[in-house]
Amino acid sequence: MKPEAKPPPNRTRKTILDRIDLSILKAMAANGRMTYQALSERVGLSPRPCLERVRRLEERGVIRGYSAMLDPISLGHEIVAMTNIGLRDAATATRRRLEQVLCAHPAVIELQLVNGEYDYVARIVAPTLSAYESLTDGFLADPTLGIARIHTTFVLKMLKAFDGYPIPDTLG
């Protein structure tokens, strides 16, 4: 079993992927539990070269990890919130502290640094509205985090969940 997904590497150069790499990625995105034998048959390679390509894709950070797609409500996460966070203190040390705290918190399931009116967008889950309020009140009350304001949009109904990035047929 592979370790949990690693954060994406900060790349300055685009990774070169050929037709077979893209076929492997499409097959694995559709069924991550597929055996290497089945994968090799699907992409038209013998098992050993197929395994070597998968390992190379892992080493290059194209494949960051493996996981199961879980239903948030089944896990007690009744509240899913898209949370915009604006800073009052944009000093580098403050940003690093905030990013460390948010990335380490299990309720913060996604965090993006953005431009515009807010500095960050976080997807946060909670069992109840009051639990969400307590969490964000705690973030606001901590002066070391430098948060000026939080604006929340609650998800009322999930119409399409994220289940992976689109994989093109060809690159270039």
Cα distance between residue 132 and residue 163, in whole Å: 25
Shared-domain flag, residues 49 and 78: no
Cα distance between residue 51 and residue 62, in whole Å: 15
Question: Model pTM?
Answer: 0.81
Shared-domain flag, residues 54 and 77: no
- pLDDT of the residue at 51: 96
Question: Does any domain span residue 108?
Answer: yes
Beta strands in 88-169 (DSSP E): 108-113, 120-126, 147-154
Domain span at 45: 19-59
The count of domains in the chain is 2
Shared-domain flag, residues 84 and 148: yes
- pLDDT of the residue at 10: 55
Residue 93: φ, ψ to 5°: -65, -40
pLDDT tens for the chain, 172 residues: list them. Answer: 344 555 555 554 577 899 999 999 999 999 999 999 999 999 999 999 999 999 999 999 999 999 888 899 999 999 999 999 999 988 999 999 999 999 999 999 999 999 999 999 999 999 999 999 999 999 999 999 999 999 999 999 999 988 888 999 888 6
Evaluate whether 88 touches 95 at the Cβ level (below 8 Å).
no
Shared-domain flag, residues 118 and 81: yes
Question: Does any domain span residue 135?
Answer: yes
**Domain CATH code at residue 95:** 3.30.70.920
